[in-house]
Amino acid sequence: MTAYYDLDSMPVMSVGLIIAMPLRQWGLIDACMDNDASVETVDGSLQRADLARSIRRTGWDQIAHWTPGVPASGKWPPPDEIVKPKLTLAQWLLTVDVLERWAATGVRVGHHDTAAQERELLDLIMSRLQAHGIHVPPERR
């Protein structure tokens, strides 16, 4: 099982970091965060679940232009459109951890195509974080 980040010891980055990607890749992040928040709410860390939900809400707000209580808000762009989610460092580091977790789970249950997509996205995010001078230890992967 993946060793999870200790959210209490994460460095805080109040400004966001944008990592551009096609919407179909953001959709993987959204789905993995949904899974992770569900699992962690039932049998894990409520802090991790809350952070996962905050990542989903950020995507809804920034990409789908979702407005709570406003009917017909929240339309996703086409799957090939490049989106530019802006997350904090803690959110991006959790994204890395969650993609690792669910890619490993996908391999275990035979969902190799989805796991490969999650690993490809993980590599993209890792390279962008490194390009911004953010070091994620190799043992995290």
Closest CA to 25 of 124, 126, 97, 134: 124
For the chain, the domains span 20-58+79-132
The kind and range of the H/E element at 22 are strand 21-22
**pTM given for the model:** 0.84
Predicted confidence (pLDDT) per residue in 47-106, tens digit: 999 999 999 999 998 898 888 788 777 788 899 999 999 999 999 999 999 999 999 999
